[in-house]
Amino acid sequence: MNYDVIVIGAGPAGSIAAKTAAEKGLNVLLVEKRQEIGVPVRCAEGVSKEAISRFVDVDRKWIAAEVKGAKVYSPDGTEVQMTEEMAGDEVGFVLERKIFDRYLAKLAGRAGADVVVKTTATGIERGKDGLKVNFRRMGEEFSEEAKIIIGADGVESRVGKWAGIDTTLKTDELEVCVQYLMTGIEFDPEYSYFWFGNEIAPGGYVWLFPKGNSTANVGIGILPKMAKLSAREYLDNFVKENYSEGEVIEMVAGGVPVKGPVKTAVADNVMLAGDAARHSDPITGGGIANAMKAGFFAGGVAAEAIEKGDYSKKMLAKYDELWKNDFGKSLHRNKILQQKLIKMDDKTLNTLAHSIAGYDLQEFSVKRLVTELIKKNPKLLWDLKKVFI
């Protein structure tokens, strides 16, 4: 075997997995198909402070802005405010992911992992003891062997399919997103903003994450099945109405899995982490924090498996246990909420917002917001009570 572990994909999940495994003394290869790690950025870059500081020392170089709360708007413009005075914050930093993703890969390299870019994994073949991974690099084909593969290859993951793990997404399980980096617009830079409504963003929402004074990520996620227009048309309409004074200096498009996590993220010799395992949140679409957590758990379990000389699905099931115990329950809960929310008409969304309008919820989390809504609207939200309270 050339390697103990090959990690495919150098996003937050892959880099943290490679770093963790290398720190435990494993021989690790981290492979990224893009020529520059972190570019292009397909992300609004909002993340909780707590989640980030669990895995890396915070470095101002990759923080674009710090927010103290969120303002959420219903279709008729009713505002609900949440501030981050209590624990449980879900957004606090707005990252500079171009720098952040590269920083995480550097940490993996410094821990001893081999890092290669512009190299695409094209398939895996089973050998007697481990796996052979085939790669393409600038027209050249080659392969490497490893005892364990960690598939951290994001929303378009192929590793799961190659390993026989069900990662399929139906059209209503993938949010289609478009985002502009806008400058010259006015907003309070201490807040992130979210707008809901079937005319604004069917099956999703519009967001604004500050990246300093007058510059922000303004984006949209929608479920195409519910939409009359394309995501870009909805976003253009929103921008025209609210931020017509601004200039668009960058544009990205991408997908976010909102299916909820895979039932199992392991097969013999293989673990999936982050978006590859559908670890992103079905409500917020946020996936950075869970990707880092999953990478950490996968790297740790890889080390245990190598030590025991056992790379079977049964051994790697410990990884499933770890991520399910950590964030699996909240993904499950938020999937139920997402199914309920996407069926609500604008009138109901307004009714909910009116019931807590003017509140400052003192905590920045979906759970806190929904708990308050259930208290005020017990009949409307009776079915959420058993999962949220």
User: CB 375 → ligand FAD: shortest distance, Å?
Assistant: 28
Strand ranges (E), the chain:
3-8, 28-31, 46-47, 63-66, 69-73, 79-83, 93-95, 114-116, 120-126, 131-137, 140-151, 174-183, 191-195, 205-210, 215-222, 247-257, 266-267, 270-272
Does 42 bind ligand FAD (CB under 6 A)? Our answer is yes
**Does residue number 89 form part of the binding site for ligand FAD (CB under 6 A)?**
no
Q: Is 146 in the site for ligand FAD (CB under 6 A)?
A: no
The Cα–Cα gap between 184 and 27 comes to: 48
Q: Quick check: 330 binds ligand FAD (CB under 6 A)? A: no
Among 267, 271, 291, 381, binds ligand FAD (CB under 6 A): 291
Segment interacting with ligand FAD, rule: CB under 6 A, options 56-64, 285-293, 330-338, 370-378: 285-293
Q: Which of 3, 6, 11, 23 binds ligand FAD (CB under 6 A)?
A: 11
Listing DSSP states for 343-382 in one string gives T--HHHHHHHHHHHTT-B-SS--HHHHHHHHHHH-TTTTH
| Piece of 65-73, 149-157, 351-359, 375-383 that binds ligand FAD (CB under 6 A) | 149-157
Q: Are 153 and 163 in contact (CB under 8 A)?
A: no
Q: Which amino acid appears at position 142 of this protein? A: F
Q: Which residue is nearest to ligand FAD (CB)?
A: 287
Under rule CB under 6 A, which residues in 202-221 are in contact with ligand FAD?
Answer: 219
State the binding string over 162-201 for ligand FAD (x if CB under 6 A, else -). ---------------x-x----------------------
Distance in Å, CB of 74 to ligand FAD, minimum:
21
**CA nearest 106: which of 215, 15, 189?**
15
Please, which of residues 244-273 interact with ligand FAD by CB under 6 A? 254-256
**Minimum CB separation from ligand FAD for residue 126, in Å?**
18
Positions in 98-127 near ligand FAD (CB under 6 A): 120-121
Binding test (CB under 6 A) with ligand FAD, winner from 10, 108, 174, 356: 10
Which residues are 257's β-sheet partners? 174
Closer by beta carbon to ligand FAD, 68 or else 354: 68
- Token representation of residue 166: 């069900």
Helix (H, G, I), strand (E, B) or coil at 325: helix
Q: Please identify, using beta-carbon distances, which residue of 179 and 350 lies nearer to ligand FAD.
A: 179
Three-state DSSP state, 175: strand
The residue type found at 159 is V
Quick one: 115 or 152, whose CB is closer to ligand FAD? 152
Instruction: List own/partner pairs for 354-358 with CB under 8 A and 24 or more apart.
Output: 354/74, 354/78, 356/80, 357/78, 357/79, 357/80
Q: What is the nearest approach in angstroms of ligand FAD to the Cβ of residue 381?
A: 26
Q: Say if residue 228 is exposed, middle or buried (CB neighbours under 10 Å; 0-12, 13-18, 19+).
A: exposed
Write the interaction track for ligand FAD spanning residues 47-86; mark x where CB under 6 A is met and - where it is not. Answer: x---------------------------------------
Q: Which tokens sit at 326?
A: 């950590």
List the one residue from 261, 286, 299, 300 that touches ligand FAD (CB under 6 A): 286
CA distance 48 to 59: 14
Among 274, 282, 299, 300, binds ligand FAD (CB under 6 A): 274
Should residue 158 be labelled a site residue for ligand FAD when binding is judged by CB under 6 A?
A: yes
Q: Which of 3, 4, 6, 12 binds ligand FAD (CB under 6 A)?
A: 12
Nearest to 160 by CA among 31, 235, 267: 267
Indicate whether 298 belongs to the interface with ligand FAD (CB under 6 A): no
Rounded CA Rg of the chain: 21
Residues 78, 243, 82, 55: what is their CA dihedral angle, to the nearest 10 degrees? 150
Residue for token digits 């279709």?
A: 75
For ligand FAD, the binding residues (CB under 6 A) are 8-14, 31-34, 42-47, 120-121, 152-154, 158, 177, 179, 219, 254-256, 274-276, 280, 285-289, 291
